[in-house]
Amino acid sequence: MNGHVTATRSIRRRLIVRLLASAAILAVILFLVVQSFGRQLAQESQDNILAASVTSVLDAITVQDGALIVDIPYSAFSMLGNISDDRVFYRIEQNQVYLTGYEDLPFTTARSTKSQPAFATDHYLGEDIRLVTASRKLSLNNQPSVVRATIAQTRNGQKQTLRQISQTVLFLGIGFFAIAMVLTFYAAQSTIGPLRRLAASVSRRGPQDLRPVESPVPSEMVPLVRSLNQFIGRLKKSLSQSEEFIAEAAHRVRTPLATVRMQAEVTLRRVERDENREALREMIRAIDESSRAAGQLLDHAMVTFRTDHLLVETFDFRVLVDELVTRLRPIAELKEIDLRWQKGAPLLIKGDAILIQNAVRNLIDNAIKYSPTESSIKLTLSQDRSGAILQLMDQGIGFPDEGFELLTDRFVRGANAHDTIGSGLGLTIADDVANAHGGCLELKNNAEGVGACVIFYLPLR
């Protein structure tokens, strides 16, 4: 039985998708974080130079003869020129009165009174600028004077640095993502590994293999494997219970029957009166019928049960038939029936030997049963291109003209067979076994008019 299992999305794909999504998110976060950090650093470095520049300007302011001397050092501007090709603007004022520089240069008033430089970003002459404003208190003519210097620089160098940072970080992000992708595939593959190995090892098992799964598995799979093993255990127990039940049933039914039969035979020998003898004979016949019925029921149960998990092996069909013929010949001889069988060439087939033996035994048994004394039953084994053919021809009563198809139904016996002891399961068993192997059972009456011909066909798989 091949149960159809619905597959939802593959674990491996889910794992890969989720890992890649996480990697992508991380890459984006990395990009944003590093870029903002880089931006901050670049800003700081420009600011530091600006601060150094404005400090050097303020340091160069002196008071001489009651006048303010502003002697801008060359380095104050050249240091700005050294780091980038940006334009430079400046403005110096005393007590908020313009002294020198670009008069309309914007400046910032934030924190500049505490003689700590204050930074701001602004706009001048059509460009973005970064400016620093710092002030210094001096004493001039015994009056306090505040000198405020503002130095500004365009941000082209900044922007270029940022562009470079962005580019580098982008490559970094992409590189990181690419590596993450490779690692993801590898990780997904190796994570799924135990699952695949378990699946492979379980599917490699034959139909009869009911050993528990013992190979070590990752902790997440332990509950699954434990349940699987419990299931296997239950199945195993159920199977063996069924087998034991059948064996037990057979024993329990047959042993008392055997006893009764023996006793009946013994009594029959002692009894003289005809009607008593007849009664005893009836009893024995009934016992035989129950016994045979029980036997066939158990056979049939076993066959049905076993066709779900055929134990397929390669064996010589000819040897199997030969053994059966040897076994059943004494029975045939009891009725003076000649069991004719030519042991020919070996014929290898693949199938469940026990079931096939059972089926063939039932067919031969049937033939013996329905053949009159001193007749012959002929068995031939041959093969064609695709299968093995076992043919039984008897000289018995043959099959009824109607109801052929039904003969293989359970408990159906031919309309012409009601005098003979039988339960009607023999053909059913043979038919089931043939079908389980992909073959078939063919029933017909002999062309010569006497007896039946049964063809048991098994494909040479």
Partner 1 sequence: MRHLLFALTLGLFPTLGFSFEVDKRQLFMAEPGSQILKVISTADLDLFAGVIDVFQSRYPSVSVDYYEVGSTELVKALIEDGAQFDLAVSSAMDLQTKLANDGMALPFRSEFTTQLPDWAHWQDLVFAFTQEPAALVFSARDFDDQSVPKTRQELIEFMRSHPMQFKNRVGTYDIRSSGLGYLFATQDARTSETYWRLAEVMGNMNAQLYCCSGKMIEDVSSGKLAFAYNVLGSYAAAQITNQDDIIIVEPSDFTTLMLRSALIPKNAKQPQLAGQFIDHLLSFSLEAGKAGDFPFPTLQRDVLEQETALRPIRLGPGLMVYLDRLKRKNFLNAWENAILQKP
Partner 2 sequence: MRYLLVEDNLALAKAVLDRLSLDGHVVDHAVTLETAQDYLSTADYDLILLDIMLPDGDARTLLKSYRMAGGKTPIITITARSEVSDRVGVLDLGADDYITKPFDFSELEARCRAVIRRQGGMANNIKRFGNTQFDPLAGTLTVASQRVQLRNRELRLLEIFINSKDQLFSKSKLVDRLFSYEDDVAENAIEVYVGRLRKQLEGSDLNIVTVRGMGYRLSVS
Pick what 455 binds: partner 2, partner 1, none; C-beta below 5 to 8 Å, kind-dependent. none
Instruction: Tell me if 69 sits within 8 A of 47, measured CB to CB.
Output: no
* Choice from 91, 130, 318, 361 touching partner 2 (CB under 8 A): 361
Rg over alpha carbons for the chain, rounded to the nearest Å, is 52
Q: Could you tell me where the beta strands, DSSP code E, fall in 307-415?
A: 313-316, 338-341, 348-351, 376-383, 387-393
Q: Which is nearer to partner 1, 53 or 358 (CB)?
A: 53
Neighbours of 46 (CB within 10 A): 22
* Choice from 329, 350, 378, 410 touching partner 2 (CB under 8 A): 329
Which of helix, strand or coil describes residue 151? strand
Pick what 126 binds: partner 2, partner 1, none; C-beta below 5 to 8 Å, kind-dependent. partner 1
* Choice from 5, 66, 71, 204 touching partner 1 (CB under 8 A): 71
- The distance of closest approach from Cβ of residue 354 to partner 2 in the complex, given in angstroms and rounded to an integer, is 5
- Tell me the C-alpha distance between 426 and 440, whole Å: 15
- Tell me the C-alpha distance between 270 and 63, whole Å: 158
Q: Which is nearer to partner 1, 87 or 254 (CB)?
A: 87
- The distance of closest approach from Cβ of residue 421 to partner 2 in the complex, given in angstroms and rounded to an integer, is 5
* Choice from 110, 125, 183, 334 touching partner 2 (CB under 8 A): 334
Burial 154-166 (b: 16+ CB within 10 A, else e): bbebbeebbeebe
Q: Per CB under 8 A, which region of 35-43, 119-127, 132-140, 271-279 contacts partner 1?
A: 119-127
Site for partner 1 contains 122 (CB under 8 A): no
Q: Which is nearer to partner 2, 66 or 330 (CB)?
A: 330
What are 67's strand-pairing partners? 64
Amino acid at 94: Q
- Tell me the C-alpha distance between 30 and 24, whole Å: 10
Q: Which of 455, 461, 442, 436 is nearest to 382 (CA)?
A: 455
Helix pair 274-306, 426-436: axis angle to 10 deg: 10
- The distance of closest approach from Cβ of residue 55 to partner 1 in the complex, given in angstroms and rounded to an integer, is 15
Q: Residue 23 is encoded by which pair of tokens?
A: 């990697």
* Choice from 21, 28, 41, 69 touching partner 1 (CB under 8 A): 69
- The distance of closest approach from Cβ of residue 32 to partner 1 in the complex, given in angstroms and rounded to an integer, is 31
- Tell me the C-alpha distance between 194 and 188, whole Å: 11
- The distance of closest approach from Cβ of residue 226 to partner 2 in the complex, given in angstroms and rounded to an integer, is 31
Site for partner 1 contains 62 (CB under 8 A): no
| DSSP strand pairing (127-140 vs 88-94) | unpaired
Place of tokens 């038939």: 321
* Choice from 15, 30, 99, 421 touching partner 1 (CB under 8 A): 99
- Tell me the C-alpha distance between 340 and 452, whole Å: 15
| DSSP strand pairing (376-383 vs 338-341) | parallel
Site for partner 1 in 318-357 (CB under 8 A): none
Largest CA distance in the chain: 169
Instruction: Tell me if 456 sits within 8 A of 434, measured CB to CB.
Output: yes
Q: Residue 312 is encoded by which pair of tokens?
A: 């397929």
Q: Which is nearer to partner 1, 88 or 301 (CB)?
A: 88
Site for partner 1 contains 125 (CB under 8 A): yes
- Tell me the C-alpha distance between 459 and 352, whole Å: 13
Q: Which is nearer to partner 1, 93 or 365 (CB)?
A: 93
Q: Per CB under 8 A, which region of 67-75, 226-234, 241-249, 309-317 contacts partner 1?
A: 67-75
Site residue total, partner 2 (CB under 8 A): 52
Over the window 291 to 310, marking each residue x when it contacts partner 2 by CB under 8 A and - when it does not, the resulting string is: x---x--xx--xx--x----
Site residue total, partner 1 (CB under 8 A): 27
382: DSSP letter: E
Over the window 388 to 427, marking each residue x when it contacts partner 2 by CB under 8 A and - when it does not, the resulting string is: -------------------------------xxx------
Site for partner 2 in 234-263 (CB under 8 A): 243, 246-247, 250-251, 254-255, 257-263
* Choice from 21, 29, 33, 81 touching partner 1 (CB under 8 A): 81
Q: Which is nearer to partner 2, 323 or 409 (CB)?
A: 323
Q: Which of 282, 292, 301, 281 is nearest to 257 (CA)?
A: 292
Residues near partner 2 (CB under 8 A): 243, 246-247, 250-251, 254-255, 257-263, 265-266, 268-269, 274, 277, 281, 284-285, 287-288, 291, 295, 298-299, 302-303, 306, 323, 327, 329-331, 333-336, 353-355, 357-358, 361, 369, 373, 419-421
Residues interacting with partner 1, by CB under 8 A?
A: 69-78, 80-82, 85-90, 92, 99-101, 125-127, 156
